[in-house]
Chain A
Amino acid sequence: MSNDSNFEYSMIPCIIGVIFGVFFSWIFTAPYLPDLYPMMVYGMYMLGMIFIIIIIIVGYIKIDKDYWLVFSSLWLFVMLLWVMFAYVIYDGINIFIAWWRSNLLFNTGLILMVFAFGVLAFWGLREYYYKRCKELD
C-alpha cells in the first residue's frame, strides 16, 4: 500500500457505503415490491451480459498485462453479479435455486471466495492508480 493514501478520509465513504447498502437492500425486500422484480432483473441481466462482453474485449485488447489479476478479478466479480441475478429470478429456474440453497457450506465458501476476489480487485485498482499517478508525475 502506498504511503500517500488517506485512510482518515476514505473510511467515511466506506462506512456510509456499508450502511446505505444494507439499508436500501433491506428496503427493497419490502413485500409490495416483488411485483416489480422481473422487469428490473431482466434489464440488469442484459446489462450484466453486456458488461461481461465489454470487459473481456477491453481486457484482451487494451489493458496492461501487469494488471491482468485486477481485471480478471473484476471479471469474476461481474460473473458473480450475473449468477446473483439468476438467483433473484425464481420462475423457471427452481431446480437451480433448490441446488443453490441445499449446499449451504459450498455457497458460503463460494461467496467468501468471490468476496476475496472483489477485495483483491479494489486493492489492485488502488495500486494501479497510485502507480499511474507516479508515472504521470
Chain B
Amino acid sequence: MKKETEGYLMAALGMHIASVICYFFDIMIWFSLMMTLVFLSFALKSERSE
C-alpha cells in the first residue's frame, strides 16, 4: 500500500469516528459520513494510479 493511500484510508477512518462522536453529541452526522466515502474513493484512486 502506498503511503498516500494509507493516509487517505486513515483520514476516512477519522471521519468515521467523527460521525460517531457527532451522533453522541446530537450533531448531524451526514457530512462526516459522506466525507468517509469521499476519502475512501481518494484512497482507491491513489492506489490505482501509477
- Docked-complex contact A25 and B16, CB < 8 angstroms: no
CB contacts under 8 Å to B, within A1-54, are: 5-6, 9-22, 24-26, 28-29, 41, 44, 51
Given contacts A6-B3, A111-B23, A115-B20, contact A17 B31 (CB under 8 A): no
Q: For chain B, what secondary structure do more than half of its interface residues adopt (helix, strand, loop), or is it mixed?
A: helix
What CA separation (Å) do A5 and B23 show in the bound complex? 30
- Docked-complex contact B9 and A122, CB < 8 angstroms: yes
- Docked-complex contact A81 and B13, CB < 8 angstroms: no
Could you say which interface size class chain A belongs to? 35 or more
- Docked-complex contact A16 and B22, CB < 8 angstroms: no
Residue ranges of B at the interface with A (Cβ–Cβ < 8 Å): 1, 3, 5-23, 25, 27-37, 39-40, 43, 47
Residue ranges of A at the interface with B (Cβ–Cβ < 8 Å): 5-6, 9-22, 24-26, 28-29, 41, 44, 51, 78, 80-81, 84-85, 88, 111, 115, 118-119, 122, 125-126, 129-130, 133
